[in-house]
Amino acid sequence: MSQRIKIKALLESGKTDIDVTVKGWVRAFRQNRFIALNDGSTNSNLQIVVDFENTDAVLLKRITVGAAISVNGKMAASLGQGQSVEVIATDIEVLGDSDPEKYPLQPKKHSLEFLREIAHLRFRTSTFGAIFRVRNTLSFAVHQFFQERGFVYLHTPVITQSDAEGAGEAFHVTNFDLDNVPRTDTGEVDYKQDFFGTATNLTVSGQLEGELGAMALSDIYTFGPTFRAENSNTTRHLAEFWMIEPEMAFYDLNDNMDLAEALLKYVIKYALEKNREDLEFLNQRLLDEEKTKPQAERSELSLLDKLQFCLDNNFERLTYTEAIDILKDSTPNKKKKFQYLVEGWGTDLQSEHERYLVEKHFKKPVILTDYPKDIKAFYMRQNEPDAQGRQTVRAMDILFPGIGEIVGGSQREERLERLEQRMDEMGIPKEELWWYLDTRRFGSAPHAGFGLGFERLVLFVTGMGNIRDVIPFPRFPKNAEF
């Protein structure tokens, strides 16, 4: 018996007349003769040809959808359509049966909602195999991009003391028996008795700790899980998601935008090269899905065209103030088609406004900069007021078609007095963030960074419509199954 070879390697080699051993799961079995075998290494199934006249009937009956089998055989050019090579089986062993009466996955189209309920098995479908291979490639591409540029991957803590940024949206972490929370003499929760001797939360961002690394190592990035206890039941929010947060000393906002744009293009290009087959499958999947929609709701570009389009075009860069002017003058604003009409300067943009700018006006990714100070975080670098006295910060958001905000970042306020003043204004306790302020006390320097929501990136690249379908086991309100 030869050593097992994965189907991807076998199909790529194109060799025939060699003895092979393959192992995987049966996706289909037609005419007691043709097995479609998949081992997850590729979207393509390998065709196994069974000499059913000389195969034990009991064994034949055990070759069912979902069964794990091991096959010895010889590679041969295929006479059938849909594949160039196939395996003529000499020997088949069933490693694990799959009762066709009970196996939830049948060789037919299942709804994404149904598959979400059996997320432990959905890896076995073509769609989710493709999604999670693409997700894998994107993860690695992120690392490779930063490594090529000398960035240090920093594991910032998941359990943190403060919720300086999160505005109450952080999950609590505790070792207390919730049925019997210890109290102080005065009846308050006695956090001194908790594991960490203090109240702790799940991190909402590694940025502040990331900055500590950047102010010594120059360029760092995080890539880890972050959490929001936000009661959002949408197709774009998760309670647990992965985020990439680079932080660069001596960068200004322009350097920051250049890096973010380069990163996005790099990882999309990488996936197009590495996972062409998976993306072609997902491209077709989306075309099929859109056929059921009215013409007006269909995308102008196919998935593959959309990805290529992102590579070929510079992202449009403009200020918030310029965007407001465009929106005020826009047809949907004048005809009162926006749910929230754009009337003046100062309020945050709604999803409909972002979509208009990206999908209708510029028809490409957009980077908005210099948002009003009052709608952004305390750590963003303050611009001097403009002629009308309007105050902005050196923020930037990258908006993608169909996704909205995929990156949010800023140049950071490196001036201690400005930073402290802003924290006071916003009621952020300076004593909790003494370590953050220390970087401004000792050897402060201009620096910048951003956060890239990884699942939103995967959503964009795979063309899926619901963020719950691009992470293996999604966490959202009332769901922590698996």
312: helix, strand or coil: helix
Determine if 340 is a binding residue for a second copy (CB under 8 A). Answer: no
Determine if 391 is a binding residue for a second copy (CB under 8 A). Answer: no
Q: Which stretch binds a second copy (CB under 8 A): 78-86, 153-161, 285-293, 294-302?
A: 153-161
Element (H, E) at 209: helix 207-217
User: Minimum Å distance from CB 354 to a second copy?
Assistant: 27
According to DSSP, the residues that pair with 296 across neighbouring strands are none
At residue 49, what is the residue type? V
Task: Count residues binding a second copy (CB under 8 A).
Answer: 104
Contact present, 32 and 52 (Cβ < 8 Å): yes
How far is Cα of residue 155 from the mean position of the Cα atoms in its chain?
A: 18
Contact present, 159 and 173 (Cβ < 8 Å): yes
Determine if 189 is a binding residue for a second copy (CB under 8 A). Answer: yes
Q: CA 35 to CA 58: how far, in whole Å?
A: 16
According to DSSP, the residues that pair with 89 across neighbouring strands are 73
Q: Which stretch binds a second copy (CB under 8 A): 235-243, 321-329, 330-338, 356-364?
A: 235-243
Determine if 448 is a binding residue for a second copy (CB under 8 A). Answer: no
Q: Which stretch binds a second copy (CB under 8 A): 49-57, 234-242, 365-373, 384-392?
A: 234-242
Determine if 155 is a binding residue for a second copy (CB under 8 A). Answer: yes
Q: Which stretch binds a second copy (CB under 8 A): 24-32, 53-61, 323-331, 373-381?
A: 24-32
Determine if 408 is a binding residue for a second copy (CB under 8 A). Answer: no
User: Minimum Å distance from CB 346 to a second copy?
Assistant: 32
Q: Which stretch binds a second copy (CB under 8 A): 49-57, 303-311, 347-355, 473-481?
A: 473-481
Taking residues 258 to 287 in sequence order and writing x for each that binds a second copy by CB under 8 A, - otherwise, the string is ------------------------------
Determine if 53 is a binding residue for a second copy (CB under 8 A). Answer: no
Residue whose pair of structure tokens reads 């920093």 in the numeric block:
154
DSSP secondary structure letter of residue 408: E
* Closer Cβ to a second copy, 239 or 368, answer by number: 239
Determine if 167 is a binding residue for a second copy (CB under 8 A). Answer: no
- Residue 214: CA count within 13 A, CB half-sphere: 29
Nearest to 421 by CA among 435, 397, 440, 408: 440
74, 116, 143, 361: residue in contact with a second copy (rule CB under 8 A): 143
Torsion-angle region of residue 361: left (phi > 0), alpha (psi -120 to 50) or beta? alpha
Residue 481 dihedral angles phi and psi, to the nearest 5°: -70, 150
Please list every residue from 60 through 79 that binds a second copy, using CB under 8 A: 66-68, 70
- Total count of residues recorded for the chain: 482
Determine if 158 is a binding residue for a second copy (CB under 8 A). Answer: yes
